[in-house]
Structure 1
Amino acid sequence: MQIKTLILAPCFFGAFLLCPTLVKAEDSEPFPAVACRSDHKCEDVLAVSGRTDLNPKDKARVEKIVRPASDFSTTERFEAMQGGAATSTAIVNGDAFSHPSANITFAEEEQFKLGNALFRKFWVSSPSSTQASDGLGPLFNARACQSCHLKDGRGHPPENSADATSMFLRLARPAATPEEEQALADYLQLNFPDPVYGEQLQDLAVAGLAGEGRMAISYEERPFELADGEIVSLRHPAYSITGLNYGPLHPDTTFSPRIANPMIGMGLIEAIHEADILALADPEDADQDGISGKAAIVRDHRTGELALGRFGWKAQNANVRDQSSSALAGDIGISSPDVPRHYGDCTAAQTDCLTRPNGVQARLGDTEAPDPVMDLISFYSENLAVPARRDVDNPQVLQGKELFYQAGCTSCHQPKFVTRRDAANKAQSFQLIWPYSDFLLHDMGEDLADGQPVGVANGREWRTPPLWGIGLTETVNNHTFFLHDGRARNLTEAILWHGGEAEAARNNFAQMVRQEREALIRFLESL
């Protein structure tokens, strides 16, 4: 598909950049971003006629700052502030992902701190004396949001330990009846849970109840030879489940390993205008460049309306609140108005689980995490600041950036967006941001395939993860495990696992000499 001309207008508020905005200069025709299912009308979701939040003057001044870089001898304007005015410029240490958006108000700082407390709090099983914390499980993977997103950062596989808290197995099976097929066609289901074990394997349970089983991982080392003769060993994982306590899995159930994603910049991602993401989609590869990004279509948990998916490894959630409510229900077993499952992921086959008391307190609401709780957790999640970049003007970093572009990495890792002017929170409004993602689904090849469809994403497709903050993973989380299952032990391995639509970019990296590869990695480490 043809990408329309993009234009930008800078503006300032005090010392903070509030603008630049990405638009489609010709906004009369909608973007054909994904093929709608034949038996359901999703055209309205995709018929976004450009940047409806901007006036003609805004649109006419955008192009200069959002078009791809062409001069790599120096930095681009505002490049270090990769989260716009919300960027954290705090000293870089283990708390680098835990600072609030720099441009929220004093009153909003209180909301952020209250949300932080809820994000960190340990839920307990019912009944207990701490009634506002009742409702854990009965089956669960973690007792707190922070347990998976340690220091608001990236999860990891259970390396040399039994700690699988920040990694879990998603369970799903294909549709088995015409009714289930229709539910998929109508976007009412993303897929279908295992009839006994549900949507997720939960290794923990409240007292007196058995956990479902434990994830087991084995690795096979596979050599990858680079063009200059260097050999990189890639570890190929195999997954199984041991100690199943409720009988066998359904024979058609697949399981997909997932590590927890970093929390930074989520509110800014939600504030990207749909038109800007849809403009990058090319599901039929009409331009024949080998890249066919596809937009995810999902339903908003609260309204039930169709929306653009942009959160989660398969872009299965449309907004931060949906992502939060899904995690509360699936990981911790906490119900909310958005996902009112008081027994979390317990299934009808797990009768003992369903007899356990839940944590609903009538005086507080009709779910375990009522609206005030969800509002605060969502606000906190929306306002975890992206850290400022380091060494932006370092010659090796600038060379690595150029090589990143030349290799074709920006075909999916779109460098820049400008958020919508009418964002729900002014802190995310009209910001030039640098997430390095198109937030679309891409076929990543057989080696990274999990075989598990999620909504419109098939078993080989994954959402392009944003790269901002990736260079601080070791500083924050004391590890460098990457990709959806943490199989890559460093950034080089992560690149070499890329296949499918990203195979050409991977091969371009593999053809580089060592000094060039090191420069590209140094660029990534500066993000």
Structure 2
Amino acid sequence: MMRVFFALLSCAAALVVPVLGLATQPDPVTSDSLSDVHLNVVPRTDDERGRVAKITALPTEFDTAWPFEENAGGAQTVRARNTADAFSQPAANLNFAQELDFKVGNGMFRRIWVSAPASTLASDGLGPLFNARSCQRCHLKDGRGHPPEGPDDTAVSMFLRVSIPAPEPVDIQRYIAGTHATAPDPTYGTQLQDFSLPGQAPEYRLQIDYDEVEVPLSGGETATLRRPTYTAADLGYGPLHPGAMLSPRIAPQMIGMGLLEAIPAEEILARVDPDDADGDGISGKPQIVWSDAHDAPMLGRFGHKAGNPTVLEQTASAFAGDIGISNPLHTAGSGECTDLQTDCTAALHGGDPEQGGFEIDQVGLDLVSFYSRTLAVPARRDVDAPQVLHGRQVFFDSGCAACHQPNHVTHRLEGEDPASFQLIWPYTDMLLHDMGPGLADNRPEGRADGQEWRTAPLWGIGLTKTVSGHTQFLHDGRARSLLEAVLWHGGEAQAARDIVVAMPPEDRVALIRFLESL
């Protein structure tokens, strides 16, 4: 019988809404209580803590490559491929049985779901409302999505999240201090789906209008940014709630997720500085969410605002919201349909008694999660090239590394877990930061307000064109280049952004060259 590897998941302008005075109370969740309950952790010894501190201390010399930085994903790193499959490789340290699970999970990740009832019982249950028919349709080649490229292009790898302000927490028993009280739109739920099965109306059509913004740079150079306006057009079920808050999201790249999941929570929380006590202008805070899988508060790690704590829960929510596939964590056979969408909720679904009544069961969910956790990070390129070395120093001197923390060491984990005790270079602190009004979606999510976003990992970013065929970045793909992405930074990153604007042009070129090497 095929062995299902499941070691990492051992248990299977900003809108701020004050809630009953709770949002201003001290956060009761600490590194002691916010345990990594989803991991089979072997506690670090004092000797290991000293080794970790030594190896993650950043060098002060920039004229040579640093030890191990070429291996961005530690022992999981694979050679960088100059093809669209660069993000689709299994981690280099998988054993034979794990490689088999990876391949089966990959098949399920690519599976095209069909409507119920169908002769292919293992693949029916699509929708009735959905954003894509497979995981692969959004995360093509395991890379990042993009906005529609014109009025005739679909938004298959992009959608709008939606919520409304709430007078109090929806679930007071699971309320976490600092969480903004919101609720799903009563008609459209928590995200808008632009596809539907025959006989059902899609919820909307995504419309994006851009205004051009010119930014003067030093040396007589200029850059042009595009400022988007989003409209939920052609609504299929009547108007949105008057207080509806919309947030655009493109599908992120998939690499290294299991390594990010294995970074110790205490190390992430050690960098929390919500009041900027050290005066560096950076005040990252943790996203803390309730885990349905573990029935406990956990550190949010995945999603543009870190709304999910584990790869399993990120996977389960994507199946339900994006494809309309029920699973042990999201049990509704009608996916994201709301009670007001009566034809949708009454439609046949593909729940199979042999799968516990779900459209994908726990075994399938575990396999897709394992695949997602073990997609390899490609090796860095040109780490010792003079321009790359100079660009790395510009990156640090400009203050970018204050949020894009270069390296971490993952937990030591029991068994043959491929994420165990790896020195990795994702360039993220995994915290929420205020990115200013320019990038604001004005929609709070959990403890993140309408201007706060999780620091995006930068590993693999230089291979975006190779894998995805475009260079569109940020949470909504508005930036058409890495330089545009930098220039959109505001809030806590405003000072670093202004340094980039004012620096000599050759330093900007070197900075981008460094980012392209990641």
TM-score normalised by the chain length of structure 1: 0.90
Within a 5 Å distance, the mapping from 1:213-228 to structure 2 comes to 213-228=204-219
Match of 1:43 among 29, 37, 54: 29
Q: CA deviation at 1:514?
A: 1.1
Q: For the Cα contact (< 8 Å) 2:174–2:290, is it kept in 1?
A: no
Q: CA deviation at 1:89?
A: 1.4
Instruction: Output the CA distance in 1 between the equivalents of 2:461 and 2:227.
Output: 22
Q: Does 1:102 align with 2:92?
A: yes
Instruction: Output the CA distance in 2 between the equivalents of 1:462 and 1:362.
Output: 40
C-alpha RMSD of matched pairs (Å): 2.1
1:396 maps to what in 2? 387
Q: CA deviation at 1:42?
A: 3.9
Residues 1:208 and 1:424: Cα distance change in structure 2 (over 3 Å): farther
Q: CA deviation at 1:340?
A: 1.4
Q: Does 1:478 align with 2:464?
A: no
Give CA deviations for 1:470-504 in whole Å, capped at 9, x if unaligned: 00000000000000000000000000000000000
Q: For the Cα contact (< 8 Å) 2:42–2:414, is it kept in 1?
A: no
Match of 1:512 among 491, 503, 507: 503
Q: For the Cα contact (< 8 Å) 2:218–2:505, is it kept in 1?
A: no
2:184 maps to what in 1? 193
Q: For the Cα contact (< 8 Å) 1:184–1:191, is it kept in 2?
A: no
Q: CA deviation at 1:56?
A: 1.5
Instruction: Output the CA distance in 2 between the equivalents of 1:254 and 1:262.
Output: 25
Q: For the Cα contact (< 8 Å) 2:166–2:181, is it kept in 1?
A: no
2:402 maps to what in 1? 411
Residues 1:39 and 1:293: Cα distance change in structure 2 (over 3 Å): closer
Q: For the Cα contact (< 8 Å) 1:272–1:420, is it kept in 2?
A: yes
Match of 2:270 among 272, 279, 286: 279
1:9 maps to what in 2? none
1:253 maps to what in 2? 244
Match of 1:132 among 122, 131, 136: 122
2:12 maps to what in 1? none
2:6 maps to what in 1? none
Residues 1:421 and 1:374: Cα distance change in structure 2 (over 3 Å): same
Instruction: Output the CA distance in 2 between the equivalents of 1:62 and 1:467.
Output: 22
Give CA deviations for 1:174-230 in whole Å, capped at 9, x if unaligned: 114x46384783479973111101111111011111101101000000111112221
Q: Does 1:464 align with 2:455?
A: yes
Q: Does 1:121 align with 2:111?
A: yes
Which structure has more relative contact order (CA 8 Å, sep 6+)? It is: 2
Instruction: Output the CA distance in 1 between the equivalents of 2:378 and 2:396.
Output: 22
Q: For the Cα contact (< 8 Å) 1:416–1:432, is it kept in 2?
A: yes
Q: For the Cα contact (< 8 Å) 1:309–1:317, is it kept in 2?
A: yes
The aligned amino acid for 1:450 is: D
Question: Secondary structure in 1 aligned to 2:298?
Answer: strand
Q: For the Cα contact (< 8 Å) 2:405–2:429, is it kept in 1?
A: yes
1:148 maps to what in 2? 138
Instruction: Output the CA distance in 2 between the equivalents of 1:320 and 1:191.
Output: 24
The aligned amino acid for 1:64 is: K
The aligned amino acid for 1:76 is: W
1:342 maps to what in 2? 333
Q: CA deviation at 1:146?
A: 0.3
Q: For the Cα contact (< 8 Å) 1:40–1:185, is it kept in 2?
A: no
Instruction: Output the CA distance in 1 between the equivalents of 2:173 and 2:62.
Output: 49
Instruction: Output the CA distance in 2 between the equivalents of 1:263 and 1:144.
Output: 15
Q: Which piece of structure 1 moves more, 179-188 or 282-291? A: 179-188
Q: For the Cα contact (< 8 Å) 2:180–2:444, is it kept in 1?
A: no
Within a 5 Å distance, the mapping from 1:32-431 to structure 2 comes to 37=23, 42-43=28-29, 47=33, 53-89=43-79, 91-160=81-150, 161-176=152-167, 178=168, 180=170, 182=172, 185-186=175-176, 191-422=182-413, 426-431=417-422
Residues 1:406 and 1:41: Cα distance change in structure 2 (over 3 Å): closer
Q: For the Cα contact (< 8 Å) 2:144–2:250, is it kept in 1?
A: yes
Instruction: Output the CA distance in 1 between the equivalents of 2:163 and 2:32.
Output: 27
Q: For the Cα contact (< 8 Å) 1:498–1:506, is it kept in 2?
A: yes
Give CA deviations for 1:122-160 in whole Å, capped at 9, x if unaligned: 111110111111111110000000000000000000012
Give CA deviations for 1:418-456 in whole Å, capped at 9, x if unaligned: 001126752100000000000000000001000100000
Structure 1 segments unaligned to the other structure (5+ residues): 1-34
1:30 maps to what in 2? none
Q: CA deviation at 1:90?
A: 5.2
Q: For the Cα contact (< 8 Å) 2:31–2:265, is it kept in 1?
A: no
Give CA deviations for 1:376-420 in whole Å, capped at 9, x if unaligned: 000000000000011111000000000000000000000000001
Instruction: Output the CA distance in 1 between the equivalents of 2:467 and 2:61.
Output: 32
Instruction: Output the CA distance in 2 between the equivalents of 1:450 and 1:506.
Output: 20
2:485 maps to what in 1? 494
Residues 1:44 and 1:339: Cα distance change in structure 2 (over 3 Å): farther
Q: For the Cα contact (< 8 Å) 1:335–1:342, is it kept in 2?
A: yes
TM-score normalised by the chain length of structure 2: 0.91
Q: CA deviation at 1:43?
A: 2.5
Q: For the Cα contact (< 8 Å) 1:334–1:368, is it kept in 2?
A: yes
- How many residues were matched structurally? 492
Q: For the Cα contact (< 8 Å) 2:34–2:298, is it kept in 1?
A: no
Question: Secondary structure in 2 aligned to 1:238?
Answer: strand
